[in-house]
Amino acid sequence: MSVLTWTYIIVGLTFALYIGIAIWSRAGSTQEFYVAGGGVSPLANGMATAADWMSAASFISMAGLISFMGYDGGVYLMGWTGGYVLLALLLAPYLRKFGKFTVPDFIGDRYYSNVARSVAVVCAIIVSFTYVAGQMRGVGVVFSRFLEVDINTGVYIGMAIVLFYAVLGGMKGITYTQVAQYCVLIFAYMVPAFFISIAMTGNVIPQFGLLGTVTDGSEMALLDKLDQLHQELGFAAYTNGTKSMTDIFCITMALMAGTAGLPHVIVRFFTVPKVRDARVSAGYALLFIAILYTTAPAIAAFARTNLINTVSNQEYTSMPEWFTKWETTKLITFEDKNNDGLIQYVANPNTNELNIDRDIMVLANPEIAGLPNWVIALVAAGGLAAALSTAAGLLLVISTAVSRDLIKMQIKPDISEKNELIAARLGATVAVVIAGYFGIHPPDFVAATVALAFGLAAASFFPAIILGIFDKRMNREGAITGMVVGITLMLFYMLKFKLGKFGGGGPEDWWFGISPEGFGTIAMVVNLVVSLTVSRLTAAPPEEVQAIVEDIRIPSGAGDAIAH
């Protein structure tokens, strides 16, 4: 059977599965819609969190990014996993004990202020939209390549699916769909990885294959071989990278703090019954994530070696089928500058003839390695599972922010449960439409957009939540000023250096040599300093708020997530 037939079958089956689960787990109450009724087992929550967390960027773009960045790619690997340690140790248990539905809930109550709540709502919406745009784009890329439809049509299909189960099932539908999506995506990621690892190193486990030797008989370590290939073509050695140590440090920190501050990840820990479940489900989540994240660097190195061996100094006319297929999507472009009919793939931009979009590395990998057609189709289904699960989680945050944090808590507190549920569903619908718009008119390539969402979360939520738990003296004035200053600074830097507003500027103009991706760390530190300073100059929080802080530090008696 052809790749296309296989893709229709496998993608069709997985979609039928998601829709079936959505119908089975419809939400009947706001509590089910917001936090799945608070009765999810830690193991299921761990899987759902992992799927929620691993986006199109993790599945499609990350190995490709690492493949082109070498050592520097470690920022994503450490940043997107290390954040879970912060989440498990500093946030999840306390927020679960606090027992509300959303991050703005916590901010609003802890800082006894609807202004703080509104600031948190705005931050949550900015962060989530920045993030969801990348997901919809990812859906479009997968559809256009594998189902050979237009990117926009792909985005529409993705929107329809997410809309269906997010609107119908709320958090309950999303949680159980995400469990299924985790299984699909991890299977789809690992199968080609096993095949490629055997082909490249003779070791079936890719994590060990990365430390192995190449199978061409030279007994050379794979990474040494890759370093050598890189240097021959004028690139920096794969295991050294090119970014400055300061920038690497800041990007890693921004991604970690951002991970811990992302509203759609935090909200997952409201769905388990007890504080100890929140702790252990963070552990399961990271374990499930780590399976993919320790495979990614291996795939990156394999794909890079494979790619260079396949194209470098080979005749253009003898390129395999996948090469021409991806050329038609313009994600691979070749220009024979010296008219010798050979592909020169080198670091020097004047003589380099080949451009490869990094987003395609994982998707093209099975084809590059010559794997069977069903594996290629499986990867398409996995990419879709990753993008859809994250998009759904984000859309829920946006719709909850509107129906609960805005309407229920501020505009119309006497809204009936039924109407609140309708508002939540309408909110989700509007959010899907806006996300689809961003998917059709994407701001930048997938991973870069996503990386910036972390900077925004690190600069706004992370300090406010941490201080809310660990600093009893932190008050309304401090937290609000900190969040506003933090997110404004980050947005300014992002707009200036990423989108060329406010005079723009290149890498040579970066403050302290820190890239927009890493600037979240600086904005976070500024937020912390501002919050602490302002809070000490203004009145201490009221007694009952200090009592809340005392209370969330003690794990027992968490009870159900309560509504008032």
Partner 1 sequence: MLILIKTNLNMSDNQRKAYWKENLRYLYILLAIWFVVSYGFGILLVDQLNEIRIGGAKLGFWFAQQGSIYVFVVLIFVYVYLMNKLDKKYGLEE
For the bound state, the minimum distance from the C-beta of residue 554 to partner 1, rounded and expressed in Å, comes to 5
Number of residues in contact with partner 1 under rule CB under 8 A: 59
Residue 463 binds to partner 1 (criterion: CB under 8 A): no
Which one among 17, 290, 426, 495 touches partner 1, defined by CB under 8 A?
290
Residue 213 binds to partner 1 (criterion: CB under 8 A): yes
Closest to 88 in 3D by CA, of 20, 42, 51: 42
Which one among 41, 113, 215, 294 touches partner 1, defined by CB under 8 A?
294
For the bound state, the minimum distance from the C-beta of residue 447 to partner 1, rounded and expressed in Å, comes to 16
Residue 276 binds to partner 1 (criterion: CB under 8 A): yes
SS3 label, residue 67: helix
Which one among 10, 185, 286, 376 touches partner 1, defined by CB under 8 A?
286
Name the one range near partner 1 by CB under 8 A: 160-168, 208-216, 311-319, 393-401. Answer: 208-216
- Which tokens is 474 given? 């932190």
Work out the angle between the directed axes of helices 275-311 and 151-201 (0-180°, nearest 10).
80
SS3 label, residue 313: coil
For the bound state, the minimum distance from the C-beta of residue 95 to partner 1, rounded and expressed in Å, comes to 15
Which one among 37, 212, 258, 436 touches partner 1, defined by CB under 8 A?
212
Which one among 132, 184, 548, 561 touches partner 1, defined by CB under 8 A?
548
State the Cα–Cα distance between residues 238 and 255, nearest whole angstrom.
Answer: 22
Of the CA atoms within 13 Å of residue 139, those in its CB half-sphere come to 29
Block residue for tokens 């507003």:
501
For the bound state, the minimum distance from the C-beta of residue 201 to partner 1, rounded and expressed in Å, comes to 9
Q: Identify which of residues 280 and 440 has a Cβ nearer to partner 1 in the complex.
A: 280
Residue 85 binds to partner 1 (criterion: CB under 8 A): yes
Block residue for tokens 């300090």:
463
Residue 330 binds to partner 1 (criterion: CB under 8 A): no
Q: Kindly identify the residues of this chain, within the stretch 480-519, that bind partner 1 according to CB under 8 A.
A: none
Q: Are 363 and 7 in contact (CB under 8 A)?
A: no
- Which tokens is 413 given? 């507190």
The contact mask relative to partner 1 for 95-134 (x = CB under 8 A, - = no) is --------------x-------------------------
Which one among 280, 319, 484, 525 touches partner 1, defined by CB under 8 A?
280
Which one among 73, 154, 170, 427 touches partner 1, defined by CB under 8 A?
73
Cβ atoms within 10 Å, residue 157: 18
State the Cα–Cα distance between residues 501 and 280, nearest whole angstrom.
Answer: 44
Residue 242 binds to partner 1 (criterion: CB under 8 A): no
Task: Give CA 141 to chain center in angstroms.
Answer: 16
DSSP β-ladder status, 332-334 and 354-356: antiparallel
State the Cα–Cα distance between residues 69 and 258, nearest whole angstrom.
Answer: 21
Residue 344 binds to partner 1 (criterion: CB under 8 A): no
Block residue for tokens 């991050």:
103
Which one among 8, 71, 194, 374 touches partner 1, defined by CB under 8 A?
71
The C-alpha angle with vertex 495 and arms to 384 and 82, in degrees rounded to 5, equals 55
Residue 383 Ramachandran class (φ > 0 left, ψ -120 to 50 alpha, else beta): alpha
Closest to 179 in 3D by CA, of 332, 42, 33: 42
- Which tokens is 161 given? 């699916």
Q: How far apart are the first and last CA of the chain?
A: 57
The contact mask relative to partner 1 for 243-262 (x = CB under 8 A, - = no) is --x--xx--xx---------
For the bound state, the minimum distance from the C-beta of residue 231 to partner 1, rounded and expressed in Å, comes to 15
Name the one range near partner 1 by CB under 8 A: 127-135, 155-163, 270-278, 476-484. Answer: 270-278
For the bound state, the minimum distance from the C-beta of residue 461 to partner 1, rounded and expressed in Å, comes to 19
The C-alpha angle with vertex 92 and arms to 413 and 123, in degrees rounded to 5, equals 50
Q: Identify which of residues 537 and 562 has a Cβ nearer to partner 1 in the complex.
A: 562
Q: List interacting residues with partner 1 (CB under 8 A).
A: 66, 71, 73-74, 77-78, 81-82, 84-86, 88-90, 93, 109, 207-208, 210-213, 221-224, 239, 245, 248-249, 252-253, 274-276, 279-280, 282-283, 286-287, 290, 293-294, 297, 544, 547-548, 550-551, 553-559, 562, 564
